Amino acid sequence: MYIAAFHWLPAQYDDQFHQLNAQIDAVARANPGFVGAESWQSGDGARRCATYYWRDLDSLQAFATDPAHLQAKRQYARWYAGYQIVISEVVRSYGDGRMPHLAADTAG
């Protein structure tokens, strides 16, 4: 499994941002390799993160190169004061079984 964590500093959002954001989310969820997503923001809202989980790297690559996603990437400076993306390969995932999880536990 792979994780793409998109961290950003929000700036000014407009209608086009919201439209593209909804398209990008729909593209992710329609991808057969999409496992799930979650997001958070700092208490003051100054920093945010959207984390997407993928079964394989090909699925993540398909998401990254989707036309709506590429359009948003070209215009990011309109909506973000800064960003960083972290791509990680999951080596191990486990828990006590009482917390909802995104994928079956894995051993690595």
Write down the pLDDT at residue 101.
63
Read off the pLDDT of residues 21-74 as tens digits, 9 standing for 90 and up.
Answer: 999 999 999 999 999 999 999 999 899 999 999 999 999 999 999 999 899 889
Whether the per-residue pLDDT at 6 is higher than 70: the answer is yes
Question: Higher confidence at residue 2 or residue 105?
Answer: 2
Cβ contact 2:89 at 8 Å? yes
Write down the pLDDT at residue 102.
61
In the chain, domain spans: 2-89
d(C-alpha 69, C-alpha 95), whole Å: 33
Of the chain, the percentage scoring pLDDT greater than 90 comes to 73
Fold (topology level) of 2-89:
Alpha-Beta Plaits (3.30.70)
- Neighbouring C-alpha atoms within 13 Å toward the C-beta of 5: 10
Write down the pLDDT at residue 105.
45
